[in-house]
Amino acid sequence: MVDQYAVEDRALALEITKSEILRIKILLGIFGTLFLLSGAFYLIAPERYAEIFQGRLDVGRLPVFFGIVTLLYSFGLAVTSAFARRGKNLPAVGRFVNAAVEGMLPSAALWFLSLRGDVVGSLSMPPLIAYSFFVVLSVTRLNPLISLTTGFTGAATYLWFAYTTIHAGNPPVESVLFTLPSHVIKAVFIFLSAAIAAFVASQLRKRVMHVIDSVRQKQELETLFGEHVSQEVVQKLVASRGNDLAEIRHITALFLDIRSFTTFSESRSAHEVYTELNKLLDFMIDIVHEHSGIINKFLGDGFLAVFGAPLDDNSHALNAVKTAQKISEELKKRTADGSVVNLGIGIGIHSGEALTGNVGSNKRKEYTVIGDVINVASRIEQLNKQFKTEILVSEEVRTALGNPATLIEKGEVAVKGRERPVRVFSLT
């Protein structure tokens, strides 16, 4: 059976590897300290050391055992760190072997300390507590199978140790605490603690994956909509989980062209052209965002802004017109104070139905708007040169605004690609 947690999400797996390194360092510090303290105590005051254990333990075995465990964790730290430096995770088999070894460590300690012959003492020694200690630590791997592995190996090896010692006739038969059923109960509790740890690890993993998925989804949406979407729009898209993006919508398209920019560019360096273009587009994009629009495409020295998609906006026509007016006002202000080059603009606005959605392949997608509304808005923008105006809107936009008196009719104009003429209006 394939371990469903063996093929982990890369981001989560790398974080778990970092957590594993920290866990190993902590355990290495604990066992290293115990090794030094037990060794020092044994060398400095062996008689006092022996008195503590009432002569029931060969105290020289403690520093040896702690030294062996310290070496094991040093090796584990070196291997795990080597994988982390290469940006890889410790293989699943390595993690399960590590879990099994940790589950067996308390049993190994019981066996090692019982070699003097005091089996009764060993069965009541602190290593029994260590089973739960390692089971609890297994939760940090966020893998319920690893927690179960730690608990199972711990319970199985403890039961094996208890059975072999009882079978050898070492514990006093009259003591109910040292009969096989009592040890079976202890083993069951060790495994039950592992089952609880596995459940906790599973729940923590789900929550961590939910957070990672949320972050990834936000990153994907930000990539999908580029850096041309306001934070408010991004937040709403994340909240809606990006659903239902492909649909027919009634939108307003705004085409903006910076006049004479090609001529301006001819006598300037590429860096100067780049700098000046960014100065112009920077405040224009901010204004689009302020009015709930998105920049759908950059067109060299201009752009296409869309209002009413991908999110609902009942005032998309009004917001598009307000955007055009604000851009015009801000451009005049900045031109006057010399912060941007003195170039004009042309803006065309049209409302209508369009197909909106993600277009592309699995490797590369782009949010786009397709429909006659886009073509008409582009043609209307070009009519500014004919009428010597700055902002032109279609009759559909004028109707959506409630036929305001501030719009001056320029008449019906034939536009390329359409059989019927387009009635256009300029803003005073």
Please say whether the beta carbons of 295 and 281 come within 8 A: no
Quick check: 118 pLDDT over 80? no
User: Which of 42-46, 95-99, 145-149 is predicted least confidently?
Assistant: 42-46
Averaged pLDDT, 267-280:
87
Averaged pLDDT, 199-217:
79
Quick check: 421 pLDDT over 50? yes
pLDDT at 297: 85
pLDDT at 132: 78
Q: Residue 3: pLDDT band by 50, 70, 90 thresholds? A: very low
Please say whether the beta carbons of 346 and 393 come within 8 A: no
Q: Tokens 């939108």: give the residue.
A: 251
Tokens (6 digits) for 162: 């208890």
Contacting residues for 301 by C-beta, under 8 A, at least 6 apart? 257, 258, 261, 262, 277
Higher pLDDT, 136 or 122: 136
Percent of the chain with pLDDT over 90: 20
pLDDT at 304: 92
Averaged pLDDT, 373-387:
91
Quick check: 266 pLDDT over 90? no
Higher pLDDT, 184 or 351: 351
pLDDT at 343: 86
User: Which of 86-95, 265-274, 333-342 is predicted least confidently?
Assistant: 86-95
Quick check: 220 pLDDT over 60? yes
User: Which of 87-96, 208-217, 250-259 is predicted least confidently?
Assistant: 208-217
Average pLDDT, the chain: 80
pLDDT at 356: 82
Q: Residue 7: pLDDT band by 50, 70, 90 thresholds? A: very low
Parallel, antiparallel, or unpaired: how do β-strands 345-360 and 391-394 relate? parallel
Contacting residues for 175 by C-beta, under 8 A, at least 6 apart? 120
Q: Residue 327: pLDDT band by 50, 70, 90 thresholds? A: very high
- In this prediction the pTM is 0.53
User: Which of 10-14, 107-111, 117-121, 383-387 is predicted least confidently?
Assistant: 117-121
Higher pLDDT, 306 or 107: 306
pLDDT at 254: 96
Q: Across-strand partners of 302?
A: 257
**How far, in Å, CA of 19 to CA of 137, rounded?**
11
Averaged pLDDT, 79-101:
81
* Exposed e or buried b per residue across 142-159, where buried means at least 16 C-beta atoms within 10 angstroms of its C-beta: bbbbbbbbbbbbbbbbbb
Delimit the domains of the chain by residue range. Answer: 10-222, 231-427
Report the CATH superfamily, name and number, of domain 231-427.
Nucleotide cyclase, GGDEF domain (3.30.70.1230)
Quick check: 70 pLDDT over 80? yes
Q: Residue 227: pLDDT band by 50, 70, 90 thresholds? A: low
pLDDT at 4: 46
Q: Residue 171: pLDDT band by 50, 70, 90 thresholds? A: low
Per residue in 277-309, pLDDT tens? 889 899 999 999 899 898 888 887 899 999 998
Quick check: 329 pLDDT over 90? yes
